[in-house]
Structure 1
């Protein structure tokens, strides 16, 4: 089945489930569960839930990064495997995740990279073991499938941020230190630098609809999130702050995916929207396209809720580490959001 056909069918299924009298496909959302704190000297597990890594050096660098951050590294048994574009067989990749959560010595699970394939693992994860051993899960892009499913099935707060093989520049390393070691109640405000320009141009935020709102964060990569429509692995959107990002998607595809969220009733239930970066999402050559500004105005402005775009979330070199399930207050006029409560156990 082609990706576009799958998304269309998923949207219809999700819409049917939102109709009166439609059968429920998931139990009541579990209560929020905080991970155990992470400290320097702790052991972390590197796992590969999605695509394979094409160079051994990338895997080596991922381990070196964790060690440079002051952590000990344990690798999943299959993290360097390959089957087609995937990092090994589905059951093997899922087994590495299950083993990492069950291992009492492991304090965090770090995803090596995104790509594609994490959604294939969702029926194979041991959610009971994950809930019994709450710990940090870090990754982004295709890892949105894991964030969504684990939060929906266990209530565990997980973290949307750099993958192990991603960029670990000074900004990202500082985010890691502040979020995990210092356990700050973070305020997420874009790092804006004018450089040689008269006024800053990079990392600017743009208000779509002003105001403030508070709630738990849900979301991640737009493509991956909407592909879960109609499944029991999508969290409840009621009263939540929805954050989104994507990469290499033409505007008409962004429009179609936001249409999916609207048709399934998700947009009617959220309290606010934070759109990060849609990297390389320019319209192609041809007969023309709606702009992203027009698309966001069409879907978000009529909601009358706080919404802004341009947050440092997504496929960019410097990115926020965002707690999925964390309670935040957003300010769409200022283009900021901040944590209201701790996201780790005492």
Structure 2
């Protein structure tokens, strides 16, 4: 019996009960697949750190990750190859996928969190056991390159996943509070940016910019623009139709953002989504030429003529205040207020 068959056999007995307790009456828009909510976590539960993407050379980062999660009251397991090295990955694609499968199969593990992003999570997709994951629903969280796991797993299984902090992140109070409210307490959060003037005459930090006014409701999908766009045309690309698309990125020239939004537009996805929420655009700029577009110009080019609400400046992505955004959760957005309101708890 190979490893995958062993995992399937080991979880078969509890599969029906797990789905029955976690599934809601809602469904995935494309294939009427029931939505599965993972169980919320509590102090004393075990979380596993996995490394699905880039190699990590700094042992201190892993140590800080373990200490941060322990400070949340959690016990921590670390996947075997987290500090391994195979080129610019921690291990071969199948090995990294097997560790994801193992984390879902492990009955002691209540949540799974990626150590970091980078590149490479998409290479594990052909080796993931989606049936095993569906039969063992639990919290999966990360952002950036982890977008390549969050959306396909939701699309293939109906399991709500979480675009949120990585284990190796800074874990400031804003980020901690978001995780606690959504994953520990099961709150249906009303997400608005803190608005403090400080010493200034008007609010300068955490500003929302409305691109297209209005409200919309749908299930949240998306994440990092670069990673999401790279999935387009594959069996792992999420259903965008009638859903709320969230987007963010880091370190890209504005023309590349334009190119990727153009690709999504040419695929029809900007026309068929219900609305768009954009987060941090960290270190996104131009080479400084006089003929360059500003980032807001690009957003207006792609969204102004489309009759659906769009705003930018939400607090998620490659920023210090990284809010937890539940992929697959039903949400309502208000582009004028700059708000995202969860219509349900993302956990059971």
C-alpha distance in 2, partners of 1:71/1:126? 26
C-alpha distance in 1, partners of 2:264/2:309? 17
Matching residue of 1:67: 70
1:288 aligns with 2:291: yes
Matching residue of 2:207: 204
C-alpha distance in 1, partners of 2:153/2:224? 15
Matching residue of 1:24: none
**Which one of the candidate residues 112, 122, 126 is aligned to 1:123?**
126
User: What TM-score, normalized by structure 1, do the two folds share?
Assistant: 0.90
**Which one of the candidate residues 311, 315, 320 is aligned to 1:317?**
320
1:97 aligns with 2:96: no
**Structure 2 alignment gaps of length 5 or more:** 1-29
CA shift at 1:38, angstroms?
1.2
**Which one of the candidate residues 90, 95, 110 is aligned to 2:113?**
110
1:237 aligns with 2:237: no
**Which one of the candidate residues 269, 272, 293 is aligned to 2:272?**
269
CA shift at 1:72, angstroms?
0.5
1:60-87 superposed Cα distances (whole Å, 9 cap, x missing partner): 1111111100001111111111112212
Q: Say if 2:52 and 2:121, in contact at 8 Å, map to a contact too.
A: yes
Alignment size in residue pairs: 319
C-alpha distance in 2, partners of 1:52/1:288? 38
C-alpha distance in 1, partners of 2:34/2:260? 28
**Which one of the candidate residues 119, 141, 145 is aligned to 2:144?**
141
C-alpha distance in 1, partners of 2:221/2:92? 29
**Structure 1 alignment gaps of length 5 or more:** 1-26
CA shift at 1:297, angstroms?
0.7
C-alpha distance in 1, partners of 2:132/2:308? 37
C-alpha distance in 2, partners of 1:184/1:269? 29
1:49 aligns with 2:52: yes
Q: CA RMSD in A?
A: 1.2
1:4-46 superposed Cα distances (whole Å, 9 cap, x missing partner): xxxxxxxxxxxxxxxxxxxxxxx83633211122111111110
Matching residue of 2:179: 176
**Which one of the candidate residues 332, 335, 339 is aligned to 2:338?**
335
C-alpha distance in 1, partners of 2:199/2:88? 42
